Amino acid sequence: MRRVSGVFDISYIQDMTIFRTKYYSAGMVILILFFLILPVFGSEFWLTFINSTAVTVIALQGLNILTGYCGQISIGHTAFMAVGAYSSTILAAQFGLPFWLCLPCGGLGAGLAGILFGLPSLRVKGYYLALTTIAAQYLIIYMIKTPFPEITGGAIALNVPEVNLGGFVFNTETHFYYFIMIMLAVMTFVAKSLMRSHYGRAFVAIRDNDIASEAMGINLYKGKLLAFFIGCFYAGIAGSIWANYVRVISPDDFTLTSSIWQIGMLIIGGLGSTMGPFFGAVFIGALRESCVICGPWITSIIPQLGAQISASLVEMSFGIAVILFLVFEPRGIGHRWEILKESYRLWPFSY
């Protein structure tokens, strides 16, 4: 990794530090302070937007590990979110387990489901694996909807009990804001650290060429299944947080369309970088909100277009955004961010 001019690493510990210079640390402190005092000034609308975007970012970090780093394409990520949401809700509602236990259990359940549907990745890859994950999406939602309606609530909505953490009840946007932000910071830090460890390096090797990486002594099966476990664990945690945040979940919240949206966010943000999920989720979230705001305004000018204009604008702009990014900037906004950082480090010399 390149440093700012004049900063030299003279030990391995310095070489591995994430916040190497004083300016980085100061920037981080300012950022944390900004997010700490944000609820005091931010309106309800902004807090809701930040909360839902942050939950999406947690899920995207998992998808980034699975698809961005390990190269195992998953188009069924929201189904694993559903597994996390439903298993934590059922544990809380039916067995009365406390929230701090339900959350990791949701992640664990989703991770195990991920391993199950990751098993075909040992034999097939590329398009075929993508099809397996699409099938996983449909099969998981079917399992929630049909066979055990008395446990999972069937096709109708399931109520989630109130979050109670040691006597403290989470019931406002602000409470959830702090909780989700802390979770986001922790999960991002863990993801970043994992991808710098030898597991992360093994994932990248598997992505670049799985047969060559096997020849170099990487256990392919272990690596792929581990990637599926970690990626789906993140999805499960995100799903569990989401369930407790919105308090009502139904199978229709976790569709193939939303899985496609998540992959699209990751591509727009940039695959295989820690900042990618943040950029992608914020970009698409902003795009969606602006379409929803613009829709009624366009209808007031051209009334013939009908009532569904917001929904159709959202879909069309998403499709166009994904296509344009893939053609003109396939490495996403994250790549632009890296270029910006690099030019800051080298400033005022461009070489």
* Residue 27 interacts with other proteins (CB under 8 A): yes or no: no
Distance CA 194, CA 73 (A): 19
Please identify which residue in 327, 349, 350, 351 interacts with other proteins, judged by CB under 8 A.
327
Count other Cβ atoms within 10 Å, centred on residue 178: 13
Site track 233-262 with other proteins (rule: CB under 8 A), x = hit: ------------------------x--x--
> From the list 14, 193, 219, 312, which residue makes contact with other proteins (rule: CB under 8 A)?
312
Determine, following the binding rule CB under 8 A, whether residue 264 of this chain makes contact with other proteins.
yes
Q: Contact with other proteins (CB under 8 A): which of 305, 339, 340, 346? A: 305
261 Cβ contact partners less than 8 Å away, ≥ 6 residues apart:
284, 318
Q: Looking at the chain, which runs of residues are DSSP E strands?
A: 158-159, 163-165, 168-170, 248-249
Asked if residue 145 binds other proteins (CB under 8 A), the reply is: yes
Establish if 128 lies at the interface with other proteins (CB under 8 A): yes
Q: Find where tokens 């009334």 sit.
A: 303
Regarding 123 and contact with other proteins (CB under 8 A), the answer is yes
Residue 75 binds other proteins (CB under 8 A): yes
Told to check if 131 binds other proteins by CB under 8 A, we report: yes
Contacts for 44 with CB less than 8 Å, ≥ 6 apart: 173
Q: How near is the Cβ of 272 to other proteins at its closest, in Å? A: 11
DSSP symbols for 4-70:
-TT----SHHHHH-SS-SHHHHHHHHHHHHHHHHHHHHS-HHHHHHHHHHHHHHHHHHHHIIIIIIS
> DSSP label at 120?
G
* CA–CA dist 51, 17 (Å, integer): 29
Q: Which of 4, 185, 215, 339 touches other proteins (CB under 8 A)?
A: 215
Report, in Å, the least distance between residue 37 CB and other proteins.
38
Contact residues for other proteins (CB under 8 A)? 67, 73, 75, 119-120, 123-124, 126-128, 130-132, 134-136, 138-139, 142, 145-146, 209, 211-212, 215, 257, 260, 263-264, 267, 271, 305-309, 311-320, 322-323, 326-327, 330
